[in-house]
Chain A
Amino acid sequence: MPASPKTTSSIKGPNARPFYAKHNAEQLKEALRRMWLIRRFEEMAEDSYVRGLTHGTMHLSIGQEATAIGVCMDLTDKDYITSTHRGHGHCIGKGAEVRYMFAEFFGKEEGYCRGRGGSMHIADPATGNLGANGIVGGGLPLATGAALAIKQRKTKDVAVCFFGDGANNEGAFHESLNIAGVWKLPVIYVCENNQYGMSVSTARSTAVKDVATRAAGYDMPGVVVDGNSIADVNEAMMAAMERARKGQGPTLIECKTYRTKGHSRSDRNRYRSKDEIEDWKQRDPIPAFEYDLQAHGVMTAAEAKAIRAGVEKEIEEAFAFAQAGTNPTPDSLLRDIYTAGSAA
């Protein structure tokens, strides 16, 4: 089960965890900052929705931040990710700026998709983020294909595919993992198992207890980690990246985690108990990581406070930037359906 927030990990000496041995204080503090940035971005996004400032729908990943950052923190702009409908954390993990994310929520030209995609399609190809996806399982073949392109170019980059437990019963999951297994592609499949595909629990939807078990069918390692522990997630990623970069092929990492908010705005939480939600709130990954960093002297309490204050400021400025953005003009409706200059 996930670690309690008050459990610390060894960060120094012969028993030091690779997560702490490999990253310096600045990197660790930046990881924490991004986790806070995800949290506050989503809280602000929900708030603006409730206040009627933005429309449409959104899917919040509050409680899952350790997975997003643990996976993305060592990736470069040349490594690809594909994301899911619950993808704000992945975007921020991959380096997206929250001002352009908010601008997308507001449907502005300054948004990552110029207001055409909204919450479910935020992407930034320039930094290797090939985008969130509105189709459950839609990103699995795409990440696999991106890994094929990497292999064709003969570089050492990797493609990372985020997907939820809900996607593991889609045909796209099985077809993609099989192809990656056969062709030994440099792709890392990261299952964020937050226990429910909308309202249906994995116990009711999935024949195996652990999604990672399914890796065996495709000749790749399948590992289960505590998705609320950034150290656990990141160490599994280290091994998977090393394997991919050596040409040894794909890995499936299952991160057991939980979304403390509902599936989307329509969710009345009829399928799970308040006790269950409260129990998982006690395992919040952000205070746990913050506690670890302070307990081991990586960061002072004052620094922690400064990180949170910096995040608050960034969120406020980003929100104001987005609100003041440019609305699309109606005559731009048909722009970018086809590439300019090609037959259309």
Chain B
Amino acid sequence: MTGQPLPEPAPSPTATDAGIPSTQRAARPRWRETLGLLARNPAAAVSGALLLLIVLVAVFDEALAPTGPNEISVEDRLQPPSLEHPFGTDDLGRDIFSRVILGAAVSLRVGFLAVAVALVIGSLIGLLAGFYGRWVDDVLMRIMDMLFAFPAVLLAIAVLAVRGPGSGNTALAIGIVYIPVFARVTRASVLGVREEVYVRASRSVGASDLRLLTRHVLPNAAPPIIVQTSISLAFAVLAEAALSFLGLGTQPPNPSWGLMLAEGRGFIDIAWWLAFFPGMAIFLTVLCFNLLGDGLRDVLDPRQRTLMAGGAR
């Protein structure tokens, strides 16, 4: 305790007072501390680094790819991996290494875009439905149920049938399919947080609904949403593959991991590398998203944060 004069001696601090060093420790900005803690989780750190690499590859794809995506070389058809073609070549003699690099941009863009659409719209709907309840909840969630009732692929096909194929519309279609998932996850989480005493406490000092939602309800309801986001990124990449396989997503000859996987399926018994490398790319990306999502969820929780920081100090 500092020696500030008080009208009456401050009641003696309880036992745990001693455990709290009275130094200010908010010197480092919040996000730097978050990054620092994230780096302590090996799985999250490696995943983050790998994802950064994948994103960089996707951004600088044209510069990195040894050949163009659609350069056909008839005499090099179905070559196994070699020094010249690290990932081998496909049935038209196209370099799979180059196509995997160029496909990263397509797959990631669709994945991010789709999840962004689902996250923003779905979470907003779930937030409002969960917080206000009553008829707002009834109306919004019944609409979500209607969306949910359609089989995912059928709904995506319907959207693409209306809007026409292409990677932008694929992202939109996948995003729409995932809106009810985010709405449900968010609503369930909000329903729990809404009844917390600290929300009522905040209301008791005059906070507006907007303030309650943005400062208290959303941050405390976020962990399941973060996990859902990382899982959905993975599923969106796979869904793009499925739609491309059906001929509705990325249009050949443009490369996307899903489309390459689908095209390679026919050659799986004579040329495994056609499907293997794009498959590995999807697998690694999805795994990294999940591990990073888990790490992020832990780091964003102040209670976990203290445990982690305490363990290292």
Chain B associates with chain A? no
Residues of B within 8 A of A (CB): none
Interface residues of A (CB under 8 A from B): none
